[in-house]
Amino acid sequence: MSNDAYVPAASRYDRTPYRRVGRSGVLLPPISLGFWQNFGENRDPLTLRTIVRRAFDLGVNHFDLANNYGPPPGSAETHLGRILEQDFRHHRDELVISTKAGYRMWDGPFGDGGSRKYLLGSLDQSLTRLGLDHVDIFYHHREDPHTPLEETMGALAQAVRSGKALYAGISNYSPEQTRQAASLLAELGTPLLIHQPSYSMFNRHIEDGLLEVVDELGVGLAAFSPLQQGLLTNRYLSGVPQSSRAAGSSGSLSQRQVEDPDYQARVRGLSAIAHERGQSLAQLALAWALRHPQVSTALVGASSVHQLEQNVGTLENLELTDEEITRLDEFAIDGTGR
C-alpha cells in the first residue's frame, strides 16, 4: 500500500443491511471489526492499516476496542489511533468507535474494577491513545462485585454528560445486573444503549434470560467471540496447524480443546450443514449468531484482508430456515470445546 491519501469506496453503504441497536437511533453493521487479539505490537502496522481500510470499504464502520486490547494492553488503541489520523480524519462522523474499561490496566488499587476513578481515568487514557476527543460507546467491561453498581453507572453517565462518550454500554453482565444497570442509567438520564456478551454455537448462555431482558429494555446486543476463538471454523478439522492459536502458548485455546472427540464430531456436523448452504463454517456460525433480532452486530477479528472479506461475505446468505436451526441444534451444544 502506498502512502497516498485514502479515498473510501463510494459503494461502501450500498450492500450492508445495517441493524438498529435496540430502540435507539444507532445503526450498526451486522459484522463489526473487533480489535481484541489481532492488533497488538507483534502485528505489521501496514497489514493492520490495510485491514481497517478494507473493512470501511465493505461498509464495516464500527470498530470495537478496550483499554487492555493488544497485546500489550493499550497497543490496539494506539494502532487504531495512528490509522485514524492517517486515513479517517475526514470520516470520523461515519464511524462508531467503542472502547471499554473493567479489567486490570495499571498498578495499584485504581487500575481495575468499576470505580469512578478507574473508569474515567481509563477513558481519558483511551482517548489519548486513539487521538480522539470522544468515543461513540463506552462500556464497563465486566461486573465488579466490590464496587456499588450506582457508582459504576454514575461514572458511565458522567462520561456521556462530559461529551467524552456518546452512549453507555455494559459487557459480561448477568440478566439481573443488566436490568439493574439499565434502571440506574435511566434515572441518571443516560439510557443503556448496548450489552456486549460472548455468544456462539458453543457458548449459548445469553439464551438463558439475557435475550428476553434486553428485548424488554430496548437494549441492543453486540456478540463477541461468535467463532469461539476459531473453534467454529474449518481450521482444526485436520489437526492443529503450527501457526494457529491452539499451537501457541497464549492460553486462550489449547490443543486439548481442539482434539476433544465431542468437539471434532460437532464441528464436522456443523461443517457439513455449512457446505450444503454453500458457506464456510465461520459464515454459518456468524449467520446463526445474527439470527436473533436482539443481536445488533457480531464482532469478529481479522488477521488478514482475506479473512475479513470471508466474514463479511456472510451477509450474502443470512437466512436460516426453522429446519436448519433444528438440525444445527444437534451440534450447537453449549460448553463444547471448554
| % of residues, the chain, pLDDT over 70 | 94
What is the model's pLDDT at position 246?
52
Q: Which residues contact 167 (CB under 8 A, 6 or more apart)?
A: 24, 26, 136, 137, 138, 160, 193, 194
User: Is 40 inside a domain boundary?
Assistant: yes
What is the mean pLDDT of the segment spanning 227-249? 72
Residue 52 falls inside a structural domain: yes
Alpha-carbon distance of 31 to 96, in angstroms, equals 13
33-65 pLDDT tens trace: 999 999 999 999 999 999 999 999 999 999 999
Q: Which three cell numbers stand for residue 13?
A: 453503504
In a domain, 259, yes or no: no
Residue 285 CA to residue 274 CA, distance in Å, equals 9
Cell numbers linked to 317: 446468505
- Three-state secondary-structure class, residue 328: helix
Q: Which range marks the domain in which residue 314 is found? A: 19-230+289-319
- From the list 4, 58, 98, 82, the residue with the least C-alpha distance to 307 is 58
Q: In this structure, is residue 211 part of a structural domain?
A: yes
88-114 pLDDT tens trace: 999 999 999 999 999 999 999 999 999
How far is 302 from 37, CA to CA, in rounded Å? 9
Residue 11's contacts (CB-CB under 8 Å, 6 or more residues apart) are none
Tell me, what CATH number does 139's domain have? 3.20.20.100
**DSSP three-state, residue 86:** helix
Is position 273 within any domain? no
In a domain, 37, yes or no: yes
Task: Give the chain's domain count.
Answer: 1
CA 91 to chain centroid, in Å, comes to 21
pLDDT at position 250 is: 52
150-170 pLDDT, tens digit per residue, is: 999 999 999 999 999 999 999
Type of residue numbered 271: S
Are the beta carbons of 175 and 183 closer than 8 angstroms? no
Residues 6+ apart with CB under 8 A from 152: 114, 115, 116, 119, 140, 144, 181
At 211 the pLDDT is 98
The secondary structure of residue 184, as a DSSP letter, is: H
Q: Give the tens place of pLDDT for each residue, 169-226.
A: 999 999 999 999 999 999 999 999 999 999 999 999 999 999 999 999 999 999 999 9
Grid cell digits, residue 158: 458522567
pLDDT in tens, 289-303: 999 999 999 999 999
Any idea what DSSP says for residue 187? Answer: H
Please, which residues bridge with residue 17 across strands? none
Which residues fall within 8 angstroms of residue 334, CB to CB, at 6 or more apart?
202, 203, 204, 205
Q: Looking at the predicted structure, is the pLDDT value of residue 1 above 60?
A: no
pLDDT score of 81: 98
Contact assessment for residue 33 and residue 304, using Cβ atoms and an 8 Å cutoff: no
Question: CB–CB of 247/302 below 8 Å?
Answer: no
Q: What is the DSSP string of 266-298?
A: HHHHHHHHHHHTT--HHHHHHHHHTTSTTEEEE
**pLDDT recorded at residue 266:** 97
Residue 171 Rama label (left phi>0; alpha psi -120 to 50; beta): beta
Can you name the residues that pair with 198 across neighbouring β-strands?
A: 224
Residue 265 falls inside a structural domain: no
Residue 253 lies in a domain: no
Element containing residue 259 per DSSP (H, E):
helix 255-259
CA distance 123 to 121: 5
pLDDT at 91: 98
